[in-house]
Amino acid sequence: MKRLLFALSALAATVAVAAAVVIYGGLYDISATDQHLAPTYRILDVAMRRSIARRAANIVVPPLDAPPMLDRGLALYDAHCVQCHGAPGVAPEPFALGLTPAPANLAHTARAWPPADIYWVVRNGIKMTGMPAWQLRLSDADLWAVVAFVEKLPELSPRDYDGLTGALGPARTEEMPVRNRPDPERGKTAMQQYACVTCHRIPGLVGPHAPVGPPLDGIGSRTYIAGVLRNEPDNMIRWLRSPQDVNAASAMPNLGVGEQDARDIAAYLATLD
């Protein structure tokens, strides 16, 4: 018994020293480009979902279909949400693409989450993500109006959304220099930074893997890109940089992907057989 206690104390001391070395030694990489390990991501994701479900369990959802409510929700979405979450065919702003975790695609969230949970998140925000709490800035009626509009997102095609807001503008044109040969590893980081995992399942990357678009397993050997273009490197680069030039109705937004980034991403995708 004494021996067991000694062994346990020694183990606890070792763990504490190791933790101190990692923390005070600055070994943990806090950068937004360093994706979580898959188990870490899973634990954080499950903890978040369980926490929200528990706290939203007793929320009573009001009727969400009144047209004035939807109009109000659209106006609020356009003012406060689209910048980070995007919308059908509309990309998030560049600053939101650099966030870790990447803001969720809400058309998927609306399908996968109950409205009470969405309301709770809009009201209270989520710690250690970019999601703010809106309860001090929006009235309760407005919070529900936002939820009402989010619930409609999965029924809106990119054209529908454009009809409501006129949001589909010309592509952003800021250009970064092309320096290197295509680098698949850099492409993998770039895919995380362009928030690709918020809409696609992508082998090698952690994230919500939300099924907004098709999974990219096997994309390297797929015959067509987006069902339209022959899958060749130049076409992939063209598609990644300007989906609407290939298919004006596409829900894949123009994310402002630079030429070098597109080349690197295409190189990574080509490895996914």
Partner 1 sequence: MRVSTADLSSGSLFPAAIRATSPHRVLGRFAAVVCIVLAGCGDNPPPALGGDPDNGRLLLRQFGCGSCHRIPGVAAARGNVGPSLEGVATRVYLGGVLPNTPENMVRWIRNPKQFDPETAMPDLPIAEGQARDIVAYLQGLK
Q: Which contiguous run of DSSP H or E holds residue 260?
A: helix 259-270
d(CA 250, CA 238): 14
Q: Which is nearer to partner 1, 70 or 186 (CB)?
A: 70
Per the DSSP assignment, residues forming a β-bridge with 224 are: 230
Q: Which is nearer to partner 1, 200 or 263 (CB)?
A: 200
Count the Cβ atoms, other than its own, within 10 Å of residue 170: 8
d(CA 121, CA 251): 25
67 upstream amide cis, omega within 30 of 0: no
Q: Which of 222, 233, 242, 244 binds partner 1 (CB under 8 A)?
A: 222
d(CA 232, CA 132): 41
d(CA 92, CA 110): 17
Q: Which is nearer to partner 1, 129 or 247 (CB)?
A: 247
What residues numbered 144-173 form the site for partner 1, per CB under 8 A? 152, 154-158, 160, 164-167
Does the protein bind partner 1 through residue 80 (CB under 8 A)? Answer: no
φ and ψ at residue 224, rounded to 5 degrees? -120, 150
Per the DSSP assignment, residues forming a β-bridge with 230 are: 224
Kindly write out the interface string for residues 227-256 of this chain, putting x where it contacts partner 1 by CB under 8 A and - elsewhere. xx-----------------xx-xxxx----
Q: Residue written as tokens 């309760």?
A: 140
Does the protein bind partner 1 through residue 45 (CB under 8 A)? Answer: no
- Only segment of 36-44, 92-100, 109-117, 261-269 that touches partner 1 (CB under 8 A): 109-117
Q: Which is nearer to partner 1, 189 or 206 (CB)?
A: 206
- Only segment of 19-27, 75-83, 129-137, 173-181 that touches partner 1 (CB under 8 A): 75-83
Residues lying near partner 1 in the complex (CB under 8 A) are found at 65, 67-68, 70-72, 74-75, 78-79, 105, 107-108, 111-112, 114, 152, 154-158, 160, 164-167, 199, 210-215, 217-218, 221-224, 226-228, 246-247, 249-252
